[in-house]
Amino acid sequence: MNVIFFGPPAAGKGTQAKIIQQQYGLQQLSTGDMLREEIAAGTELGKKAKHLMDQGKLVPDKVVIDMIAKRLDSPECAKGVIFDGFPRTVAQAEALDALLAERGKKIDIVMELDVDQDKIIERMKKRAAEEGRSDDNVEALKIRLQQYNDYSAKVLPYYRAQGAVPKINGNKPVEGVTAQITDILAGKVSAPLQVSSGA
């Protein structure tokens, strides 16, 4: 099963992906985490990406598509993948569909984590204190939210054209969000909890 967790920065996608990875054996693939690993390892790619990431801007599509392509055939992805923070543009979504199709696979579920703006700012500040990410500051977050609205929000209509995109209430505490996700994954919710209302 291949799942996409879609939502704005600091919505809780990574937190939920890690929990679902444990429970379902699906592999979390976070392009943000992969880029931070490149930065930590001091690679050329990491150096180029850091400049954009610190400003809250997206890195080029090709960079993240290549990173995902490299990981898809690894054994830990055999049971399926939770895509976290990818795709963020329509070009990335199209490339992902093509990569999966080449492997006889597809995206099975796209879930939208819906979180209020004040909650996003609150979570970003909490994460800044805990993890010290260099893009977790109010200035960069502003740009990240803008990039989300300019590019990433356009990815939702792309997937809605392929089927319903259930909306998860991401304002709830962690367990409450997980419960909504597991109900959908377990097929307990035959119809999506709340279908997003078109583009």
- Which residues are the active-site residues? 13, 88, 127, 133, 144
Q: Is there binding between residue 155 and ligand AMP (CB under 6 A)?
A: no
Tell me the sheet residues that pair with 5. 84, 111
Of 7, 8, 9, 170, the one binding ligand AMP (CB under 6 A) is 9
Q: Rounded CA gap, 20 and 46, in Å?
A: 28
One residue of 96, 113, 115, 144 binding ligand AMP per CB under 6 A = 144
* Alpha-carbon gap, residue 167 to 91, rounded angstroms: 23
CA-angle at 103, arms to 33 and 4, nearest 5°: 40
Task: Indicate the residue among 58 and 165 with the shorter CB distance to ligand AMP.
Answer: 58
- Which CB, 3 or 59, lies closer to ligand AMP? 59
Is residue 88 part of the contact set for ligand AMP (CB under 6 A)?
yes
Tally the C-alpha atoms within 13 A of residue 181's C-alpha that lie toward its C-beta: 29
Site mask, ligand AMP, residues 26-65, x = CB under 6 A? Answer: -----xx--x----------------xx--xxxx----x-
27: tokens are 């592999």
Report the candidate in 18, 14, 37, 15 with the shortest Cα–Cα distance to residue 27: 18
**Which lies closer to ligand AMP via its Cβ, residue 57 or residue 71?**
57
Sign of the dihedral defined by the CA atoms of residues 154, 77, 82, 108, in that order? positive
Nearer to ligand AMP among residue 145 and residue 181 (C-beta): 145
Residue 188: CB minimum distance to ligand AMP, A: 28
DSSP state of 77: G
List interacting residues with ligand AMP (CB under 6 A). 9, 31-32, 35, 52-53, 56-59, 64, 85-86, 88, 92, 135, 144
